[in-house]
Amino acid sequence: MGVTEKLMRYISIKTPCNEKADSVPTSTCQFNLAEILVEELKELGMDQVVLDERCFVYGILRASEGYEDCKKLGFIAHMDTVSEFCEEEIVPVMTKQYNGEDLTLQKCGRILSVKDFPHLKELKGRTLITSDGSTILGVDDKAGIAEIMQMLQTMIEEKIPHGQISVAFTPDEECGTGAAYFDFDTFDADVAYTLDGDGEGEIQYQNFNACEAKFTIEGKSVHPGSAKHVMINAVLLACEMNQMLPRYETPRYTEGYEGFYHLLSIHGDEGHAEAEYIVRDHNEPEFLVRKNTLRHIEKTMNEVWGDGTVKLEIKDEYRNMESVIKDHFYLVENAKQACMKAGVTPVICPIRGGTDGCKLSFKGLPCPNLGTGGHGYHGPMEHITVEGMEKVVDIILELVKIFANS
Q: What is the pLDDT of residues 125-145, one digit of tens each?
A: 999 999 999 999 999 999 999
Confirm if 398 and 358 have CB atoms less than 8 A apart.
Answer: no
Task: Indicate if 80 belongs to the active site.
Answer: yes
The pLDDT score that the predictor gives to residue 286 is 96
Which residues are paired to 23 by β-bridges?
A: none
Classified as helix, coil or strand, 140 is helix
Checking if the pLDDT of 20 tops 90, the result is no
* Residue with more model confidence, 19 or 50: 50
The pLDDT score that the predictor gives to residue 246 is 96
Q: Tell me the pLDDT band of 393, cut-offs 50, 70 and 90.
A: very high
Question: Mean pLDDT throughout 385-402?
Answer: 98
Question: Mean pLDDT throughout 72-91?
Answer: 93
Task: Indicate if 147 belongs to the active site.
Answer: no
Burial 174-199 (b: 16+ CB within 10 A, else e): bbbbbbebbeeeebebbbbbbbbbbb
Per-residue pLDDT tens digits for 207-233: 999 999 999 999 998 888 887 988 899
β-strand pairing of 111-112 with 47-51: unpaired
Per-residue pLDDT tens digits for 328-382: 999 999 999 999 999 999 999 998 877 888 889 999 999 999 999 999 998 999 9
From 51-65, 164-178, 350-364, the region with the lowest mean pLDDT:
350-364
Checking if the pLDDT of 91 tops 90, the result is yes
Question: Mean pLDDT throughout 25-29?
Answer: 95
Q: DSSP code of 254?
A: -
Question: Mean pLDDT throughout 25-40?
Answer: 97
Confirm if 341 and 398 have CB atoms less than 8 A apart.
Answer: yes
The pLDDT score that the predictor gives to residue 353 is 79
Euclidean distance between CA atoms 328 and 134, whole angstroms: 42
Question: Mean pLDDT throughout 15-39?
Answer: 94
Checking if the pLDDT of 80 tops 90, the result is yes
- Angle value at C-alpha 239, between 278 and 255, nearest 5 degrees: 40
Euclidean distance between CA atoms 129 and 385, whole angstroms: 6
Euclidean distance between CA atoms 349 and 334, whole angstroms: 16
CA distances to 22, 89, 176, 368 from 211, rounded to whole Å, are: 19, 34, 12, 21
Task: Kindly name the residue from 80, 202, 322, 382 that is annotated as catalytic.
Answer: 80
The pLDDT score that the predictor gives to residue 86 is 87
The pLDDT score that the predictor gives to residue 129 is 97
Q: Identify whether 368 is preceded by a cis peptide bond (ω within 30 of 0).
A: no
Confirm if 83 and 73 have CB atoms less than 8 A apart.
Answer: no
Checking if the pLDDT of 123 tops 90, the result is yes
Alpha helices in 201-329 (DSSP H): 234-243, 284-305, 322-325
Q: Model pTM?
A: 0.89
Task: Kindly name the residue from 132, 172, 173, 322 that is annotated as catalytic.
Answer: 173
- Angle value at C-alpha 127, between 370 and 341, nearest 5 degrees: 40
Q: Tell me the pLDDT band of 178, cut-offs 50, 70 and 90.
A: confident
Q: Which residues contact 265 (CB under 8 A, 6 or more apart)?
A: 274, 275, 276
Per-residue pLDDT tens digits for 179-208: 899 999 999 999 999 999 999 999 999 999
Confirm if 332 and 203 have CB atoms less than 8 A apart.
Answer: yes
Euclidean distance between CA atoms 62 and 247, whole angstroms: 54
The pLDDT score that the predictor gives to residue 97 is 97
Euclidean distance between CA atoms 180 and 192, whole angstroms: 16
| Portion of the chain with pLDDT greater than 90, in percent | 88
Return mean pLDDT, the chain: 95
Q: Tell me the pLDDT band of 100, cut-offs 50, 70 and 90.
A: very high
Classified as helix, coil or strand, 191 is strand
Question: Mean pLDDT throughout 70-83?
Answer: 96
Checking if the pLDDT of 117 tops 90, the result is yes
Which residues are paired to 268 by β-bridges?
A: 273
The pLDDT score that the predictor gives to residue 349 is 92
Per-residue pLDDT tens digits for 285-300: 999 999 999 999 999 9
Q: Which residues contact 180 (CB under 8 A, 6 or more apart)?
A: 24, 359
